[in-house]
Amino acid sequence: MSIQTIGIVGAGTMGNGIAQACATSGLQVVMVDIAQAAVDKGLATVAASLDRLIKKEKITPADKDAALARIQGSTDYAALKSAQLVIEAATENHALKVKILQQLDGLLAPEALLASNTSSISITKLAAVTTRPDRFIGMHFFNPVPMMALVEIIRGLQTSDATHAAVTDLATRLGKTPISVKNAPGFVVNRILVPMINEAFFVLAEGTATAEDIDAGMKLGCNQPIGPLALADMIGLDVCLAVMEVYLAEFGDSKYRPCPLLKDMVAAGRLGRKTGRGVYAY
Ligand SMILES: NC(=O)c1ccc[n+]([C@@H]2O[C@H](COP(=O)([O-])OP(=O)(O)OC[C@H]3O[C@@H](n4cnc5c(N)ncnc54)[C@H](O)[C@@H]3O)[C@@H](O)[C@H]2O)c1
Protein backbone atom coordinates (compact mmCIF):
# COMPACT_ATOMS: atom_id res chain seq x y z
CA MET A 1 0.00 0.00 0.00
CA SER A 2 1.38 3.38 -0.91
CA ILE A 3 1.07 5.94 1.86
CA GLN A 4 -0.04 9.35 0.58
CA THR A 5 -2.16 10.73 3.41
CA ILE A 6 -0.96 10.65 6.99
CA GLY A 7 -3.20 11.29 9.95
CA ILE A 8 -1.68 12.67 13.13
CA VAL A 9 -3.43 12.67 16.49
CA GLY A 10 -2.12 15.42 18.76
CA ALA A 11 -0.89 18.81 17.53
CA GLY A 12 1.60 19.32 20.39
CA THR A 13 5.40 19.32 20.37
CA MET A 14 5.73 15.99 18.56
CA GLY A 15 2.49 16.03 16.53
CA ASN A 16 3.18 19.33 14.81
CA GLY A 17 6.82 18.37 14.24
CA ILE A 18 5.76 15.12 12.56
CA ALA A 19 3.17 17.06 10.53
CA GLN A 20 5.88 19.44 9.31
CA ALA A 21 8.25 16.59 8.37
CA CYS A 22 5.47 14.84 6.42
CA ALA A 23 4.21 17.99 4.66
CA THR A 24 7.67 19.15 3.58
CA SER A 25 8.19 15.66 2.13
CA GLY A 26 5.12 16.05 -0.11
CA LEU A 27 2.62 14.02 1.89
CA GLN A 28 -0.93 15.11 2.66
CA VAL A 29 -1.46 15.54 6.41
CA VAL A 30 -4.54 15.64 8.61
CA MET A 31 -3.64 16.77 12.14
CA VAL A 32 -6.29 16.36 14.83
CA ASP A 33 -6.37 17.66 18.40
CA ILE A 34 -9.13 18.01 20.97
CA ALA A 35 -9.49 21.81 20.89
CA GLN A 36 -9.30 24.27 18.00
CA ALA A 37 -6.81 26.35 20.03
CA ALA A 38 -4.43 23.36 20.16
CA VAL A 39 -4.78 22.79 16.40
CA ASP A 40 -4.15 26.50 15.70
CA LYS A 41 -1.12 26.52 18.00
CA GLY A 42 0.27 23.45 16.24
CA LEU A 43 -0.20 25.04 12.80
CA ALA A 44 1.39 28.31 14.01
CA THR A 45 4.39 26.35 15.34
CA VAL A 46 4.86 24.71 11.94
CA ALA A 47 4.63 28.10 10.18
CA ALA A 48 7.21 29.63 12.55
CA SER A 49 9.54 26.66 12.10
CA LEU A 50 9.26 26.95 8.29
CA ASP A 51 10.01 30.70 8.58
CA ARG A 52 13.27 29.84 10.36
CA LEU A 53 14.16 27.49 7.50
CA ILE A 54 13.48 30.31 4.99
CA LYS A 55 15.80 32.61 6.97
CA LYS A 56 18.50 29.95 6.81
CA GLU A 57 17.82 29.70 3.03
CA LYS A 58 16.99 25.99 3.34
CA ILE A 59 13.53 26.42 1.78
CA THR A 60 11.77 29.14 -0.24
CA PRO A 61 8.60 31.04 0.77
CA ALA A 62 6.81 29.01 -1.95
CA ASP A 63 7.96 25.76 -0.27
CA LYS A 64 6.51 27.02 3.00
CA ASP A 65 3.14 27.85 1.41
CA ALA A 66 3.02 24.46 -0.32
CA ALA A 67 3.85 22.60 2.91
CA LEU A 68 1.23 24.50 4.93
CA ALA A 69 -1.36 23.89 2.21
CA ARG A 70 -0.81 20.14 2.65
CA ILE A 71 -1.73 20.22 6.36
CA GLN A 72 -5.38 20.12 7.27
CA GLY A 73 -6.06 20.85 10.93
CA SER A 74 -9.21 19.52 12.56
CA THR A 75 -10.89 18.68 15.86
CA ASP A 76 -12.98 15.98 14.19
CA TYR A 77 -11.58 12.43 14.06
CA ALA A 78 -13.74 11.80 10.96
CA ALA A 79 -11.24 13.94 9.01
CA LEU A 80 -8.73 11.08 9.46
CA LYS A 81 -10.89 8.56 7.61
CA SER A 82 -8.97 8.65 4.32
CA ALA A 83 -5.50 8.29 5.90
CA GLN A 84 -3.47 5.19 5.02
CA LEU A 85 -1.47 5.64 8.24
CA VAL A 86 -2.36 7.45 11.46
CA ILE A 87 0.42 8.34 13.89
CA GLU A 88 -0.83 8.81 17.44
CA ALA A 89 1.18 11.56 19.17
CA ALA A 90 -1.18 12.56 21.98
CA THR A 91 -0.34 13.06 25.65
CA GLU A 92 1.66 10.20 27.24
CA ASN A 93 -1.11 8.43 29.16
CA HIS A 94 -1.92 4.75 28.74
CA ALA A 95 -5.69 4.97 29.22
CA LEU A 96 -5.94 7.97 26.90
CA LYS A 97 -3.95 6.23 24.17
CA VAL A 98 -6.12 3.10 24.42
CA LYS A 99 -9.23 5.25 23.99
CA ILE A 100 -7.78 7.10 21.00
CA LEU A 101 -6.52 3.93 19.30
CA GLN A 102 -9.85 2.15 19.66
CA GLN A 103 -11.63 5.18 18.24
CA LEU A 104 -9.23 5.21 15.25
CA ASP A 105 -9.52 1.45 14.81
CA GLY A 106 -13.28 1.74 14.32
CA LEU A 107 -12.94 4.62 11.88
CA LEU A 108 -10.09 3.75 9.52
CA ALA A 109 -10.14 1.52 6.46
CA PRO A 110 -9.34 -2.10 7.41
CA GLU A 111 -6.00 -2.01 5.57
CA ALA A 112 -4.86 1.28 7.16
CA LEU A 113 -1.86 1.25 9.48
CA LEU A 114 -1.71 2.62 13.02
CA ALA A 115 1.45 3.87 14.74
CA SER A 116 2.16 5.35 18.15
CA ASN A 117 4.92 7.83 19.01
CA THR A 118 4.85 6.75 22.68
CA SER A 119 8.14 6.98 24.57
CA SER A 120 7.35 4.49 27.30
CA ILE A 121 4.23 2.42 26.68
CA SER A 122 4.56 -1.13 25.34
CA ILE A 123 3.80 -1.32 21.59
CA THR A 124 2.71 -4.95 22.06
CA LYS A 125 0.17 -3.86 24.70
CA LEU A 126 -1.17 -0.99 22.58
CA ALA A 127 -1.42 -3.23 19.50
CA ALA A 128 -3.47 -5.71 21.51
CA VAL A 129 -6.31 -3.23 22.14
CA THR A 130 -6.94 -2.85 18.40
CA THR A 131 -8.48 -5.28 15.88
CA ARG A 132 -5.39 -4.78 13.67
CA PRO A 133 -2.42 -5.75 15.88
CA ASP A 134 -0.44 -6.88 12.79
CA ARG A 135 -0.89 -3.38 11.30
CA PHE A 136 0.23 -1.61 14.47
CA ILE A 137 3.77 -0.33 15.08
CA GLY A 138 5.80 2.19 17.07
CA MET A 139 7.30 5.21 15.32
CA HIS A 140 9.43 6.98 17.91
CA PHE A 141 10.50 10.38 16.56
CA PHE A 142 12.94 12.66 18.36
CA ASN A 143 12.46 16.27 19.40
CA PRO A 144 12.65 18.63 17.49
CA VAL A 145 11.29 16.36 14.76
CA PRO A 146 12.22 18.55 11.74
CA MET A 147 15.88 18.62 12.91
CA MET A 148 16.44 15.13 14.32
CA ALA A 149 17.39 12.42 11.82
CA LEU A 150 16.42 9.32 13.81
CA VAL A 151 13.18 7.35 13.95
CA GLU A 152 13.07 4.20 16.06
CA ILE A 153 10.69 1.76 14.37
CA ILE A 154 9.38 -0.49 17.12
CA ARG A 155 7.87 -3.85 16.33
CA GLY A 156 5.34 -5.23 18.74
CA LEU A 157 5.16 -8.99 19.03
CA GLN A 158 2.25 -8.94 16.55
CA THR A 159 3.59 -6.44 13.96
CA SER A 160 3.73 -7.91 10.43
CA ASP A 161 6.72 -7.71 8.10
CA ALA A 162 4.58 -5.74 5.62
CA THR A 163 3.73 -3.09 8.23
CA HIS A 164 7.37 -2.85 9.27
CA ALA A 165 8.47 -2.46 5.63
CA ALA A 166 5.83 0.21 4.84
CA VAL A 167 6.68 2.33 7.87
CA THR A 168 10.44 1.96 7.38
CA ASP A 169 9.98 3.13 3.80
CA LEU A 170 7.92 6.08 5.01
CA ALA A 171 10.59 7.15 7.52
CA THR A 172 13.11 7.17 4.68
CA ARG A 173 10.75 9.26 2.53
CA LEU A 174 10.67 11.77 5.39
CA GLY A 175 14.45 12.07 5.09
CA LYS A 176 14.94 10.24 8.39
CA THR A 177 17.14 7.28 9.24
CA PRO A 178 15.06 4.45 10.68
CA ILE A 179 16.45 1.84 13.05
CA SER A 180 14.59 -1.38 13.79
CA VAL A 181 13.88 -2.09 17.42
CA LYS A 182 12.04 -4.88 19.23
CA ASN A 183 9.50 -3.77 21.81
CA ALA A 184 11.29 -3.27 25.17
CA PRO A 185 11.20 -0.55 27.84
CA GLY A 186 13.01 2.58 26.59
CA PHE A 187 13.49 1.01 23.14
CA VAL A 188 17.18 1.62 22.26
CA VAL A 189 18.13 5.26 22.65
CA ASN A 190 16.46 6.12 25.95
CA ARG A 191 17.41 2.71 27.40
CA ILE A 192 21.06 3.68 27.03
CA LEU A 193 20.78 7.44 27.47
CA VAL A 194 18.78 7.71 30.70
CA PRO A 195 20.87 5.21 32.75
CA MET A 196 23.94 7.16 31.58
CA ILE A 197 22.37 10.36 32.91
CA ASN A 198 21.50 8.54 36.17
CA GLU A 199 25.14 7.41 36.45
CA ALA A 200 26.26 11.03 36.01
CA PHE A 201 24.17 11.89 39.10
CA PHE A 202 25.94 9.11 41.06
CA VAL A 203 29.33 10.51 39.98
CA LEU A 204 28.19 13.99 41.06
CA ALA A 205 26.76 12.73 44.37
CA GLU A 206 29.98 10.87 45.20
CA GLY A 207 31.93 14.09 44.74
CA THR A 208 34.13 12.53 42.06
CA ALA A 209 33.97 15.75 40.03
CA THR A 210 31.95 18.96 39.75
CA ALA A 211 28.90 19.12 37.47
CA GLU A 212 30.81 21.36 35.09
CA ASP A 213 33.73 18.93 34.92
CA ILE A 214 31.49 15.87 34.47
CA ASP A 215 29.75 17.59 31.55
CA ALA A 216 33.03 18.85 30.07
CA GLY A 217 34.45 15.33 30.38
CA MET A 218 31.60 13.72 28.45
CA LYS A 219 31.54 16.48 25.82
CA LEU A 220 35.26 16.51 25.13
CA GLY A 221 36.05 12.88 25.88
CA CYS A 222 33.05 11.25 24.18
CA ASN A 223 32.22 13.90 21.60
CA GLN A 224 28.72 14.38 23.02
CA PRO A 225 27.19 17.73 22.00
CA ILE A 226 25.91 18.35 25.52
CA GLY A 227 26.95 16.94 28.91
CA PRO A 228 24.62 14.43 30.65
CA LEU A 229 23.76 16.77 33.55
CA ALA A 230 22.95 19.72 31.28
CA LEU A 231 20.87 17.30 29.20
CA ALA A 232 19.01 16.15 32.32
CA ASP A 233 18.11 19.80 32.97
CA MET A 234 16.72 20.03 29.43
CA ILE A 235 14.73 16.79 29.59
CA GLY A 236 13.45 17.46 33.12
CA LEU A 237 14.81 15.65 36.18
CA ASP A 238 11.31 14.37 36.96
CA VAL A 239 11.11 12.74 33.52
CA CYS A 240 14.55 11.12 34.00
CA LEU A 241 13.49 9.79 37.42
CA ALA A 242 10.18 8.44 36.10
CA VAL A 243 11.99 6.63 33.27
CA MET A 244 14.46 5.00 35.69
CA GLU A 245 11.55 3.89 37.89
CA VAL A 246 9.91 2.23 34.86
CA TYR A 247 13.14 0.36 34.01
CA LEU A 248 13.58 -0.76 37.62
CA ALA A 249 9.99 -2.04 37.75
CA GLU A 250 9.93 -3.62 34.27
CA PHE A 251 13.36 -5.32 34.31
CA GLY A 252 13.47 -5.97 38.08
CA ASP A 253 17.20 -5.33 37.93
CA SER A 254 18.81 -3.15 40.63
CA LYS A 255 21.23 -1.70 38.10
CA TYR A 256 18.37 0.66 37.18
CA ARG A 257 17.96 2.09 40.70
CA PRO A 258 17.53 5.87 40.49
CA CYS A 259 20.33 7.88 42.09
CA PRO A 260 19.22 9.23 45.52
CA LEU A 261 20.52 12.69 44.54
CA LEU A 262 18.25 12.67 41.47
CA LYS A 263 15.29 11.72 43.70
CA ASP A 264 16.19 14.44 46.21
CA MET A 265 16.43 17.14 43.55
CA VAL A 266 13.04 16.15 42.14
CA ALA A 267 11.57 16.25 45.67
CA ALA A 268 13.00 19.77 46.05
CA GLY A 269 11.32 20.88 42.80
CA ARG A 270 14.65 21.37 41.05
CA LEU A 271 13.41 19.85 37.80
CA GLY A 272 15.78 21.63 35.40
CA ARG A 273 15.24 24.42 32.91
CA LYS A 274 11.46 24.34 33.24
CA THR A 275 11.64 25.34 36.93
CA GLY A 276 14.65 27.65 36.55
CA ARG A 277 16.87 25.35 38.58
CA GLY A 278 18.11 21.80 38.24
CA VAL A 279 21.75 20.77 38.34
CA TYR A 280 22.43 24.30 37.07
CA ALA A 281 20.61 27.60 37.74
CA TYR A 282 18.88 29.32 34.78
N1 LIG B 1 8.43 15.68 23.81
C2 LIG B 1 9.36 14.80 23.47
O3 LIG B 1 10.58 15.07 23.53
C4 LIG B 1 8.96 13.43 22.97
C5 LIG B 1 9.89 12.69 22.23
C6 LIG B 1 9.49 11.45 21.70
C7 LIG B 1 8.20 10.97 21.94
N8 LIG B 1 7.32 11.71 22.69
C9 LIG B 1 5.95 11.18 22.86
O10 LIG B 1 5.10 11.87 21.96
C11 LIG B 1 3.77 11.95 22.51
C12 LIG B 1 3.33 13.40 22.52
O13 LIG B 1 4.23 14.15 23.32
P14 LIG B 1 4.35 15.73 23.19
O15 LIG B 1 5.65 16.09 23.84
O16 LIG B 1 4.07 16.16 21.79
O17 LIG B 1 3.14 16.20 24.13
P18 LIG B 1 2.34 17.60 24.09
O19 LIG B 1 1.77 17.74 25.44
O20 LIG B 1 3.20 18.68 23.54
O21 LIG B 1 1.16 17.34 23.03
C22 LIG B 1 0.16 16.38 23.23
C23 LIG B 1 -1.08 16.85 22.49
O24 LIG B 1 -2.05 15.80 22.51
C25 LIG B 1 -3.32 16.42 22.58
N26 LIG B 1 -4.36 15.45 22.98
C27 LIG B 1 -4.68 15.01 24.22
N28 LIG B 1 -5.73 14.17 24.16
C29 LIG B 1 -6.08 14.08 22.85
C30 LIG B 1 -7.10 13.38 22.16
N31 LIG B 1 -7.97 12.58 22.79
N32 LIG B 1 -7.17 13.51 20.81
C33 LIG B 1 -6.31 14.30 20.15
N34 LIG B 1 -5.32 15.01 20.76
C35 LIG B 1 -5.22 14.89 22.09
C36 LIG B 1 -3.11 17.54 23.57
O37 LIG B 1 -4.15 18.51 23.48
C38 LIG B 1 -1.75 18.09 23.11
O39 LIG B 1 -1.89 19.10 22.14
C40 LIG B 1 3.86 11.29 23.87
O41 LIG B 1 3.45 9.95 23.74
C42 LIG B 1 5.33 11.37 24.23
O43 LIG B 1 5.75 10.35 25.11
C44 LIG B 1 7.67 12.94 23.18
Q: What is the dihedral of CA 250, 102, 115, 39, to 10 degrees?
A: -110
Number of H helices, E strands in the chain: 11, 8
Phi, psi dihedrals of residue 215, rounded to the nearest 5°: -65, -40
The pLDDT of residue 2 is: 81
Could you list the active site residues?
Answer: 119, 140, 152, 190
CA pair distance 47, 23, nearest whole angstrom: 12
The pLDDT of residue 196 is: 98
The pLDDT of residue 282 is: 96
pTM of the predicted protein model:
0.94
Q: Residue 64 is which amino acid?
A: K
The pLDDT of residue 135 is: 98
Residues in the chain: 282
The pLDDT of residue 256 is: 98
The pLDDT of residue 225 is: 96
Cβ–Cβ < 8 Å for 122, 98: no
Nearest ligand 1 atom to the CA of 99 is: 31
Give distance in angstroms: CA of 86 to centre of ligand 1: 14
Taking CA atoms, 50 is separated from 20, 47, 131, in Å, by: 8, 5, 38
The pLDDT of residue 37 is: 98
Cβ–Cβ < 8 Å for 195, 230: no
Neighbours of 4 (CB within 10 A): 12
Test site for ligand 1: of 8, 9, 13, most ligand atoms within 8 A of the Cβ: 13
CA pair distance 20, 65, nearest whole angstrom: 12
Under-50 pLDDT residues of the chain: none
The answer for residues whose C-beta is within 8 angstroms of residue 268's C-beta and 6 or more apart is none
Site residues for ligand 1, CB cut-off 6 Å: 9-15, 32-34, 38, 89-92, 96, 100, 117-119, 140-141, 143
Cβ–Cβ < 8 Å for 92, 118: yes
Beta-strand relationship, 136-141 and 150-155 = antiparallel
Q: What is the CA 184 to chain-centroid distance, rounded?
A: 15
Give distance in angstroms: CA of 213 to centre of ligand 1: 35
Give distance in angstroms: CA of 91 to centre of ligand 1: 4
The pLDDT of residue 239 is: 92
Candidates 247, 231, 224; CA nearest to 197 is 231
The pLDDT of residue 1 is: 63
Q: Name the helix (H) or strand (E) containing 64.
A: helix 61-69
